[in-house]
Amino acid sequence: MLNELFQVAEALQRLKLVGQEAHPSVKPMGNSPAFVARITNDGSIGSLDILMPDKAGLLKRIEHGAAGTSFPGFNLPSPVWNLEDVPIEHLKQLVAVQKNRNATARQRLDCLRVVKPVTKLRAFTAEQERQFNRIFHDFVPLLASDFAAAPPDLTSFVQLLAILGKFKVGIVDFVTQLVDRVTGSQQDLNVSSGKAAESFLVGQVIFKGIASVGSVEWWEKKRTEDKKGKTAIFLDLDSPPAQARSVAHQLTCEFIEAHLLKVRPGRGYAKGGKGARKQEGIDAFTGEMEELTTSFPEPRVQALRPPDLKLFSASSESPCLGRYGLIDSAIFPASKKNTARMQDAILHLAKKKEQRGKTWYPIPSNLNEKKKPKTDLLVAYLENEPDSRAAIAEMFGGQCETFSDADFEARTQPVIEAIEATLKTTPDLSVRLLVLSSIDRGRKQISLNRRLRVVDVVRSAKDWQAGARDMPDVSVGLYDKNTKLPVSRAAPCPLDLASVVNRVWSADAKAGFRYSFQRALSVSDAYDIFLAESPLVRQKAEAALGLLIRRMSLVLAGLGAVKTTLKWTSLSDTVRWQSLKSVALLGILLRQLGQHKETFMHESITELGRLLALADSLHLQYCKHVRKGESPSQLIGNALFNTALEQPVFALARLAERLTPYQAWAQTFQSNDPEAGVGLVKYFLGEIAACTAAIKLEQVPAKMSDADKAKLLLGYLADHPKKETPNQ
């Protein structure tokens, strides 16, 4: 059933959207304080109450298709006072009251009254005025028509609509009256109500890290915070009819919802309420007549951040949807039966902790929250065998975060063994691969939906491992914690390709290498390259290779310098591990492009890279013996490396010039000290001669391709095939 869930586009093609007026729906007021403004018979505000969230949350508002248009509850931009002309001593009084946890509501209100004469009303934008006018000039008449034949339980609501339909109040006049009622209140407010009034009028005035009230930084922070503020307003009658419930009553809200469902059955409701009638229609998935749902399930999947996963979501506040009069669940009719099956399938595959790695796995998201990083949800399972114990999801979603983590080969081997056994009886077995991503706190989307043949997955995994092995050993100064042996090669996971490529590195003289995230390769691209079956795979592999070289060459050149000096701690573990993964990815991508180690490691461009590394080693020995250990900031090979990436012939000519005096010294270097390393110097001298002889100038490219640059990097970074000891 889960497969059908993700074929929404096909089902949508069977729907026809017909232009109609927007239809309202009923939503809760929310979990914030609400100002209940009681309207008199002349359309003005007679009195004002402040409800705390526990009571305000019981009220409901009717939402229109237009963004921000709702009634009798709506939001006003706040704070409503502009404090820019307020003297600094008054601002300090406001700050002092907000800081004082023991300040009473009366003290807070008295401070606001003192400030009132020197404030002015905030300037509302044209859009804010239009939004306010839509409520009273457009939405109220629409609701008056819907509630013309409302039952007696809605007498107060009908009368409120009649009054507001007669008097067209404007936002400035309305807010001015609210301010007067708040500051003129003689009621004994509690502290919470006092804070709500304070928030409505002046907003926040205490900012972390900014102690100087009225400073430039203080005002910048104040203006930024003021743009985010809003206050919930709920309208009621100041003098309701005898024996009639007020509008701001939970039962009145329930009757409003029930009446709307009656006059507009099955049109534009996200959630059914009391009085909702059974609705039948054509299920968009099956095309059959069934009982339709008025509320799509919202299963909680902890791997996602936030965890609420709406199976279908379309905001009723989107003007483009309201234009057609089909909002919320009315956009996509689905049966209760099928939506329940979808929810069960998601929870079965993605909720249980014991299924982690088997059918679901959290993968990094491109979006991040301030406190905790968001994660996307990878769902991977064998079709017709979703309860398989093979760690399919971890094979696709795992990453080698540190050098002590199990690499792709270690993770994959038991999975391949398990599914190859299944293939003997089910040769056409397929894997379903899905990625659910968070766009923002309220919206999720499917960023990847693939159906893969298991035989192709096995082939791809083996080819990927072969590519990781198809490269020289590169020591990075890391050691396996168990075996204590050096780690000189790795098999990164497919998602490591995106992780490595999407990091842009920079060098700092003090802080060393740092990276920032810049998305250039998606999860989908990484899987395409891994599977190597798409017609575009070669182009994607070439693009990934180019990105990898451009973004990692600075770091890899730094690693090459450290390999010569063996000062490993000058690079962090993270930098060295990312470098080792990059080297493996170079081998994988070159293999995707038809290049193999047994061939390219003997090409002239690779030998040039090796020659640069040998030049560094010889230069270091020269500095050790002639300059008494004083080394320059860059050794000669490393200094010419970036030039070689673009102009290899020129770099080779410059190297020949600069290397000559060091070769001359090495030829005459003698010492009776067995620790002097004479054998090592002679070894470097011989290797340089052999490497120079292997370079065919006519084979050195005049213009470097990305593949050539990769070979140069591998030649420069590869470990010397012969063990280097001072006694050689």
SS (H, E, C) 516-537: EECCCCCHHHHHHHHHCCCCCH
pLDDT score for 24: 63
pLDDT score for 264: 67
Tell me if 5 sits within 8 A of 284, measured CB to CB: no
H helix intervals, 573-603: 573-592, 597-600
What does the block give as tokens for 571? 């690079």
What does the block give as tokens for 81? 């006072």
Who's near 480: CB < 8 A, 6+ residues apart? Answer: 403, 404, 486, 487
For the ranges 2-6, 183-187, 253-257, 441-445, the maximum mean pLDDT occurs at 253-257
**Residue 354 domain-assigned (yes or no):** no
Q: What is the mean pLDDT of residues 541-551?
A: 94
Give dist(CA 493, CA 468) in Å, integer.
10
Q: What is the mean pLDDT of residues 298-307?
A: 76
Tell me if 392 sits within 8 A of 349, measured CB to CB: no
pLDDT above 70: percentage of residues in the chain: 88
Give dist(CA 619, CA 627) in Å, integer.
11
H helix intervals, 315-407: 319-322, 336-350, 392-397
Who's near 656: CB < 8 A, 6+ residues apart? Answer: none
Who's near 165: CB < 8 A, 6+ residues apart? Answer: 140, 141, 144
pLDDT score for 11: 38
Measured in degrees and rounded to the nearest 5, phi and psi for residue 296 equal: -70, 140
Count: domains in the chain: 2
**Residue 95 domain-assigned (yes or no):** yes
Who's near 665: CB < 8 A, 6+ residues apart? Answer: 622, 626
Q: What is the mean pLDDT of residues 207-217?
A: 85
Q: Is the pLDDT of residue 322 over 70?
A: no
Q: Is the pLDDT of residue 1 over 80?
A: no
User: Using 50, 70 and 90 to split pLDDT, how confident is the model at 270?
Assistant: very low
Domain that includes residue 141, residue range? 25-263
Cα 191–194–200 angle (5° rounding)? 145
Total H helices, total E strands in the chain: 27, 17
Report the Cα 648 to chain-centroid distance in Å: 41
Per-residue pLDDT tens digits for 154-171: 999 999 999 998 887 889
Pairing verdict, β 60-63 and 230-237: unpaired
pLDDT score for 276: 47
Of 503, 599, 607, 517, which is closest to residue 555 (Cα–Cα)?
503
**Residue 633 domain-assigned (yes or no):** yes
Tell me if 521 sits within 8 A of 544, measured CB to CB: yes
Of 27, 24, 31, 26, which is closest to residue 232 (Cα–Cα)?
31
pLDDT score for 484: 81
Pairing verdict, β 444-453 and 430-438: antiparallel
Measured in degrees and rounded to the nearest 5, phi and psi for residue 486 equal: -65, 145
Q: Which residues of 670-692 are buried (b: 16+ CB within 10 A; e: fewer)?
A: eeeeeebbbebbebbbebbeebb
Give dist(CA 705, CA 229) in Å, integer.
54
User: Using 50, 70 and 90 to split pLDDT, how confident is the model at 266?
Assistant: very low
Question: What amino acid occupies position 100?
Answer: N
pLDDT score for 557: 94
Per-residue pLDDT tens digits for 455-514: 999 999 999 999 999 888 999 999 887 778 888 888 999 999 999 999 999 988 777 898
Of 343, 341, 339, 335, which is closest to residue 290 (Cα–Cα)?
335
Question: What amino acid occupies position 399?
Answer: Q
User: Using 50, 70 and 90 to split pLDDT, how confident is the model at 519?
Assistant: confident
Q: What is the mean pLDDT of residues 413-424?
A: 84
pTM for this predicted structure: 0.61
pLDDT above 90: percentage of residues in the chain: 36
Per-residue pLDDT tens digits for 229-249: 899 999 999 988 888 899 999
Edge-to-edge order in the sheet of strand 45-51: 45-51, 34-39, 230-237, 73-77
- Is the Cα torsion angle 477, 481, 483, 487 positive or negative in sign? negative
pLDDT score for 442: 65
User: Using 50, 70 and 90 to split pLDDT, how confident is the model at 68?
Assistant: low
Q: Which of 263, 294, 315 is the last residue of a domain?
A: 263
Q: Lowest mean pLDDT: which of 4-13, 207-216, 242-251, 315-324? A: 4-13
Q: Lowest mean pLDDT: which of 52-61, 666-675, 706-715? A: 666-675
For the ranges 279-288, 359-368, 637-646, the maximum mean pLDDT occurs at 637-646
Cα 318–322–325 angle (5° rounding)? 150
pLDDT score for 670: 86
Per-residue pLDDT tens digits for 554-576: 999 999 999 999 999 899 999 99
Question: Helix, strand, or coil here: 173?
Answer: helix
Per-residue pLDDT tens digits for 360-403: 988 877 554 444 456 788 898 888 777 777 888 889 988 888 88
E strand or H helix that includes residue 28: strand 25-28
Q: What is the mean pLDDT of residues 516-537?
A: 85
pLDDT score for 654: 95
For 9, counting Cβ atoms within 10 Å of its Cβ (0-12 exposed, 13-18 middle, 19+ buried), the class is: exposed
**Residue 100 domain-assigned (yes or no):** yes
Q: Is the pLDDT of residue 619 over 90?
A: yes
Q: Which of 230, 263, 296 is the last residue of a domain?
A: 263
Of 435, 436, 438, 311, which is closest to residue 374 (Cα–Cα)?
438
Q: Is the pLDDT of residue 328 over 70?
A: no
Question: What amino acid occupies position 555?
Answer: V
Give dist(CA 248, CA 55) in Å, integer.
10
Q: Is the pLDDT of residue 313 over 70?
A: no
Q: What is the mean pLDDT of residues 591-606?
A: 92
Report the Cα 567 to chain-centroid distance in Å: 37
Q: Is the pLDDT of residue 7 over 90?
A: no
Q: What is the mean pLDDT of residues 262-276?
A: 48
pLDDT score for 369: 44
User: Using 50, 70 and 90 to split pLDDT, how confident is the model at 320?
Assistant: low
Question: Helix, strand, or coil here: 103?
Answer: coil
Q: Which of 217, 242, 263 is the last residue of a domain?
A: 263
Q: Is the pLDDT of residue 725 over 70?
A: no
Q: Is the pLDDT of residue 66 over 70?
A: no
Give dist(CA 716, CA 711) in Å, integer.
9
pLDDT score for 19: 29
Q: Is the pLDDT of residue 450 over 80?
A: yes
**Residue 335 domain-assigned (yes or no):** no
Check residues 121 and 364 and name the one with the higher pLDDT: 121
pLDDT score for 662: 92
Q: Is the pLDDT of residue 440 over 50?
A: yes
pLDDT score for 2: 46
Q: Is the pLDDT of residue 271 over 50?
A: no
- Is the Cα torsion angle 676, 680, 684, 690 positive or negative in sign? positive
**Residue 462 domain-assigned (yes or no):** no
Mean pLDDT of the chain: 84
**Residue 469 domain-assigned (yes or no):** no
**Residue 148 domain-assigned (yes or no):** yes
Residue 67: count other Cβ atoms within 10 Å of its Cβ: 15
- Is the Cα torsion angle 245, 251, 252, 255 positive or negative in sign? negative
Q: Is the pLDDT of residue 67 over 70?
A: no
pLDDT score for 157: 95
pLDDT score for 158: 94
> Which stretches does DSSP call E strand in 409-562?
430-438, 444-453, 503-508, 512-517
Check residues 30 and 664 and name the one with the higher pLDDT: 664
Who's near 179: CB < 8 A, 6+ residues apart? Answer: 80, 81, 116, 121, 201
